[in-house]
């Protein structure tokens, strides 16, 4: 599917530089809107909730700790979370790449439409067959869709599974010389907010990357430079990586998912930049060096005492 594939209901084919998050929606409609943010306590969802709240929009956090609770694994929780909702940011957990995820997304989309929701904005991943199947099912559902097909997040190094290794001073991964165009979740959140509040993004598939290709070794050395700490990148085999996760009692489905991402998806298929952030927002994406500088200044990467 192309990055520019469009929904036939779309009236404008690009949203651009002068897109303001709430420019296209009348105040009366804004007042009645309620946005459900699935994964609303996670890396993208939390930022989207903050931005929408700042804009004066009503939001409901959709997660197991939300009120009401939303659990992807318990369909009985979906309808209460959808009550009164007009738009949904759909961040699936653990990953759209896991077998069966596309069918779950389609079932959720159908239920959302039955509850009167029109707008669905899906967070997706690049180069993953199951994720692309989920995108197509969402498109086919008849919703007013926008898809954010993203590369690896910068914030995996500061808010997620790579934080502990960075703090320990050694990041050992089965990643060789294949570069990845890491994207900043603040950019993803900006695009999501635009998509949730401006009709010009309906029917747009935005492939979101950062502005630069970096190997994992280069990303780690950027973090080391920003922190002034010695942080080593150690290339290991997929087998060593899986065995290490198993020794730390990581569940086997998570090991399978991460092994798939490193062993199959990180094969060069995503090693190119896209213009998705610029197409959606009219500005360049954030560079990894700026991310590293700001996180280093926040103290999150300070070595343990
Ligand atoms: N990380 C990347 O580099 C990357 C790149 C491209 C796409 N993605 C996509 O991003 C999505 C989110 O992944 P992430 O790793 O970044 O996680 P995240 O959004 O940072 O955190 C997970 C969120 O999901 C919620 N959650 C966990 N289990 C849940 C369940 N059973 N039912 C409902 N909500 C649940 C969590 O809240 P509670 O614990 O309160 O339930 C939390 O809000 C995935 O679909 C992934 O494919 C990630």
- Whether residue 247 lies inside any domain: the answer is no
- Whether residue 301 lies inside any domain: the answer is no
Report pLDDT for 25: 59
Closest residue CA from atom 36 of ligand 1: 39
Report whether pLDDT(243) > 50. Answer: yes
Report whether pLDDT(136) > 50. Answer: yes
- Whether residue 260 lies inside any domain: the answer is no
Whether ligand 1 lies within 6 angstroms of the CB of 162 is answered as no
- Whether residue 115 lies inside any domain: the answer is yes
Report pLDDT for 37: 98
pTM score, whole prediction: 0.91
Report pLDDT for 9: 31
- Whether residue 69 lies inside any domain: the answer is yes
Closest residue CA from atom 37 of ligand 1: 63
- Whether residue 118 lies inside any domain: the answer is yes
Q: State how many domains the chain has.
A: 1
Report whether pLDDT(254) > 90. Answer: no
Report whether pLDDT(17) > 70. Answer: no
pLDDT confidence band for 163 (50 / 70 / 90): very high
Cα-to-centroid distance, 45 and ligand 1 (Å): 9
Mean pLDDT of the chain: 90
- Whether residue 169 lies inside any domain: the answer is no
Report whether pLDDT(10) > 90. Answer: no
SS (H, E, C) 120-139: EEEEEECCCHHHHHHHHHHH
Report pLDDT for 66: 96
Whether ligand 1 lies within 6 angstroms of the CB of 200 is answered as no
Cβ-based burial of 293 (10 A; exposed 0-12, middle 13-18, buried ≥19) = middle
Range of the domain at 146: 27-153+184-211+272-286
Q: DSSP string spanning 141-177?
A: TTSEEEEEEE--BGGGGTSSTTHHHHHHTEEEES--S
Q: The domain that contains 142 carries what CATH number?
A: 3.40.50.720
């Amino acid at each position: 599917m192309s990055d520019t594939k469009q929904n036939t209901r779309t009236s404008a084919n690009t949203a651009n530089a002068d897109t303001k998050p709430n420019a296209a929606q009348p105040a009366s409609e804004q007042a009645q809107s309620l946005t459900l943010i699935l994964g609303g306590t996670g890396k993208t969802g939390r930022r989207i909730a903050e931005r929408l709240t700042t804009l004066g929009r009503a939001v409901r956090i959709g997660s197991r700790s939300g009120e009401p609770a939303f659990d992807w694994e318990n369909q009985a929780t979906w309808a209460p979370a959808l009550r009164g909702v007009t738009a949904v940011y759909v961040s699936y957990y653990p990953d759209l790449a896991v077998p069966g995820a596309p069918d779950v997304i389609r079932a959720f989309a159908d239920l959302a439409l039955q509850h009167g929701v029109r707008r669905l904005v899906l967070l997706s991943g690049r180069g993953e067959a199951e994720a692309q199947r989920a995108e197509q099912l969402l498109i086919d559902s008849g919703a007013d869709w926008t898809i954010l097909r993203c590369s690896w997040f910068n914030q995996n190094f500061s808010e997620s599974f790579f934080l502990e290794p960075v703090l320990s001073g050694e990041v050992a991964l089965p990643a060789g010389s294949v570069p990845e165009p890491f994207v900043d979740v603040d950019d993803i959140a900006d695009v999501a907010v635009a998509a949730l509040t401006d009709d010009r993004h309906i029917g747009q598939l935005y492939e979101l990357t950062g502005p630069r290709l970096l190997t994992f070794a280069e990303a780690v050395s950027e973090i080391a430079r920003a922190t002034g700490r010695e942080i080593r990148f150690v290339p290991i085999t997929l087998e060593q990586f899986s065995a290490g996760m198993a020794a730390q009692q990581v569940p086997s489905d998570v090991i399978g998912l991460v092994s798939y991402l490193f062993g199959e998806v990180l094969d060069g298929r995503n090693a190119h930049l896209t213009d998705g952030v610029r197409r959606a927002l009219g500005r360049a994406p954030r560079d990894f060096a700026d991310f590293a500088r700001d996180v280093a200044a926040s103290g999150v990467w300070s070595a343990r005492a």
